Chains A and B, each alone.
Chain A
Amino acid sequence: MIEFRVVYTMWLREMKRWWRSKPRMIGSLSMPILWLVVMGIGLGSSFSIPNAAFNYLVFVSPGIIGMSLLFTSIFSGVSVIWDRQFGFLKEILVSPVSRTSIVIGKMVGSSTVSLITGLVILFIVILLNGVSSLVLNPISLLQTVAFMSLISFSFVSVGLVIASKLTNMEGFQMIMSLLVMPTFFLSGAMFPIENAPQWMKAVAHIDPLMYGVDGMRSSLTGISQYPMMVDFTILVAFCVVMVALASHLFSRIE
């Protein structure tokens, strides 16, 4: 059973914390912007994708939006570890509300933060590329936002799953190098997966972010590896599984 009052309460807290913590906000925005400028413009000026109709900045833009969503979402989900260390999780868990509502509330809150960050990056992407080099209309924007939301929700859940298993921040570096960075690099954000060696292609296909980036590339540039519906379906399935897993694991915390 989901109590909307609880979901709203959790969401509200997440918003307040986010709004109050300007360094975190600036940090989560500046890195993707740095990547866009250095990689997109810098690297793009002496490197182009073979047989591609558009320049590298256009190619890499959906990838950087994906990266921003991935990082913000996972970290926001993992932040539950802090709540546990500072004892606040106890206060939440002994309240007379369902655990599912708490988890969903946390997910909605964290996803909102991630989505807002992603939308700012999208806006900067449009500014840097110019309106004419992207496919921009209400439908393409709506599709992009749908993919962004799915990516956010999925990876917030991944963060929560990690947090339910990890009791302190010591394992954090490991998560960064073994999970987050590979997910980013193999998502096709930086280079087209089609041209990669066979083994890397195989690994990339189990990377859920690949379908998210491909979906956004499809809506924003009109060119993609898979039809948009395929990306969408796979991502929805992944999202549902992760949300269910996170809720399940969370309800078992003692």
Chain B
Amino acid sequence: MNAIEVKGLAKKFNGFAAVDGINFEIKEGEIFGLLGPNGAGKTTTISMLSTILKPTSGSATINGFNLATQQNDVRMSIGIVFQDPSLDDELTGRENLDFHGRLYGVSSKERKEKIKAVLELVELEEKADSQVKTYSGGMKRRLELARGLIHMPKILFLDEPTIGLDPQTRRKLWEYIKRINSEKGTTMILTTHYMEEADFLCNRIAIVDKGKIIASNTPEKLKQVLGGDVITLEASEPESLKKVVGKMAGINEVTIFGDKLNVTANNGSTVLPRIIKVAHDNGVSIRSATLKSPSLEDVFIHYTGRAIREEEADSKNAMRLRMRVGWR
């Protein structure tokens, strides 16, 4: 059985399509990632699937329940870690977990056991009886992850679970997520704009851009699309460099993004010296060159001609989009 099935799901805000008719399926026990820049529609998708927002059109089943007609069953089947913090700072960690358990109708005896177990899982036993306002950002995130598990949901929604965390804390959180998935078999859907995160955690990834899924597969298969290695070149005249390099043999594809050039080739290490020579002969100067195996970032560039990171600079736009899906 599929844990989640989504058909033609769309959400419009004042005529602007934040999510523009997406389809995907998530198998039980899978970790599925929605990868894309800020404002691509990931959070809106999660908000719809978790019953927070009503879809403009399309349908979905979650754990076998119809999103439109069986809202309470859907809510009971899922746990959510929101992008923005959602804890009661005045309460202690344990009280936050207890509150959640009570709301979800977990019996008193079971609540005690579960709270103990999840606190152990995210290693917060010692801090459990301090008020949440004394927690660090990483600890709050861990508590939220623990809270999402109290009622033993079949599916866990993780919306940008490690946003704003330092690399070490992020690693730690990834471990917890992996462990929950392998030990409890919890299906997970997560959104992220961190390539490494999607690569490390997800069994399958859907690349999202401007409200649409533009590619969906396992991370390995997505990267294979590029074929071989990726050479990134920085040049003063990327256009003319593209013209020159495009004619060379042994090259699969050339994509321009910004003032850079991505060249994919089956055998990058022998192609790179030739590119440099050809460029030199044609009077095009190359400022820098890197050779690496393809990353999901390169996959995104391949499909959109832009880097995910470029979008981050456009924070005002992302902000506006977030305002629209906010709770107002």
Contact = CB atoms under 8 A, between A and B. Distances in A.
B103 A90 contact: no
A94 B52 contact: yes
A45 interface: no
B213 to A, nearest CB: 24
A16 B88 CA distance: 11
B75 A254 contact: no
Given A16-B91, A88-B86, A88-B88, A96 B104 contact: yes
Which of A20, A83, A96: most chain B CB closer than 10 A? A96
B102 A9 contact: yes
B103 A21 contact: no
Contact of B88 (A5, A13, A21): A13
Contacts of A254: 52-54, 327
Interface string B43-59: 00000001111100000
Residues of B contacting A: mostly: loop
Interface string B63-107: 000000000110110001010111111110001000110111100
A165 to B, nearest CB: 10
A91 interface: yes
Given A5-B102, A13-B88, A96 B72 contact: yes
Nearest to B75: A96
Contact of B103 (A9, A167, A253): A9
A7 B147 CA distance: 20
Contact count band on A: 20 to 34
B327 A253 contact: yes
A6 B85 CA distance: 22
Contacts of A91: 82, 86-87, 100, 147
B247 interface: no
A84 interface: yes
Interface of A: 5-6, 8-9, 12-13, 16-17, 20-21, 83-84, 86-97, 167, 253-254
- What 5 A-B pairs come out closest when comparing CB atoms? A87-B86, A96-B75, A9-B102, A95-B103, A91-B86
Interface of B: 50-54, 72-73, 75-76, 80, 82, 84-91, 95, 99-100, 102-105, 131, 147, 327-328
Given A16-B90, A94-B75, 17 more contacts: A5-B105, A6-B102, A17-B91, A21-B90, A87-B82, A87-B84, A90-B52, A90-B327, A91-B87, A92-B103, A93-B52, A96-B73, A96-B76, A96-B105, A167-B328, A254-B53, A254-B54
17 contacts: A8-B102, A13-B91, A16-B90, A16-B95, A17-B90, A20-B131, A87-B85, A87-B87, A88-B87, A89-B327, A90-B82, A90-B86, A90-B327, A91-B82, A91-B87, A94-B51, A94-B75
